[in-house]
Amino acid sequence: MITFFNDSHQAHAPEFEFFRGERVPCFETPARAEYVKASLSARGHSLRQAHIDSRDILAKVHTPRYLSFLENAWRDWSALEAGNAQRQPFPSVWPVRSLRSDIEPVNFIARLGLYSMDNGSPLAAGTWQAAKAGADAAASAAALLAGGQGAERAAFCCSRPPGHHAGADFMGGYCFLNNAAVAAQALRDGGAARVAILDVDYHHGNGTQSIFYERSDVLFVSLHGDPQTEYPFYLGHADETGAGAGAGFNLNLPLPAGCSTARWFEALEQACLRISSFGSDALVISLGLDTFAEDPISKFSLQPDDFSRLGQRLGALGLPTVFVLEGGYAAAALGSNAVNVIDGFEGV
């Protein structure tokens, strides 16, 4: 399978985050993508660089003022005060219910809060560079399939930071630009009448859902930890089925923390049946691998062989498919688990 590798991912390397009230080293680190890259190379998968500038597609997925903020955030932060270039900024105020979000504050930390759903997406000097390169990779993968180049029916984006928690005008959960949404929009622009997105990350892809919630041309399906107890908490319930033109084109399959692998695969089968009935022309997989039993911040129990089984079921859908790397924080196992999915897909 053709893999688009984002060399610029290493530019996003914040030192720490806050987790359960403590300052801890970041779970989302450059090592994650490097482990996947090593496993891909070891198993003979070709690696290439992005060849598409995603800026036009990003403008269809994210709002102009959010993109402008994100692109200039580190410059603005560093210019505020001597020493800021050696500090990580975090939001401390958010425009919750009854507060206004239509006016962009001048104060940097207030703007950071305006565009953040949490304080779990630490910025670094190279955040925009890394995130933009990941979006370029997603657009390039979609263009490869839409262009019908060679015999490839699938492509994988090995990039970070992840994207599925990023909405049209906000970041969150380590995510800044929504790569799955970029891939889906690029596939639509490339001629696919209907695109399905399947999110198999442990955490609900709230950003992806919100971007496509009122659209009927992109189906969003997610199986994830129940938001009553699991991040992102405020989206991902089963009664969220779409709105307006998108009514009926959103399917959430929340599962209790600690649920059995058998139950997880039952939900996967339900998801696949819905994708088939949608009549998709192409498929985007938000490939979160934090469903692994040894993941430090998640509570499902999949084993390495289960990722091969996942790939086989996705391959059986018979659709042109873009895989986009999302979560997975047992970094040393991330590479082999990702390639198990890819090899399972290609073995169908």
By annotation, the residues acting in catalysis are 165
Here the tokens at position 140 are 């390039």
Q: Rounded to an integer, what distance in angstroms lies between the CA atom of residue 56 and that of residue 63?
A: 12
3-state SS assignment for residue 24:
strand
Residues in the chain, total: 348
Nearest C-alpha neighbor of 243 from the set 275, 220, 225: 220
Q: Rounded to an integer, what distance in angstroms lies between the CA atom of residue 84 and that of residue 6?
A: 27
Here the tokens at position 72 are 């200039």
Q: Is residue 197 within 8 Å of residue 286, measured between CB atoms?
A: yes
Nearest C-alpha neighbor of 160 from the set 126, 114, 207: 126
Q: Rounded to an integer, what distance in angstroms lies between the CA atom of residue 317 and that of residue 276?
A: 7
Nearest C-alpha neighbor of 69 from the set 167, 159, 169, 158: 169
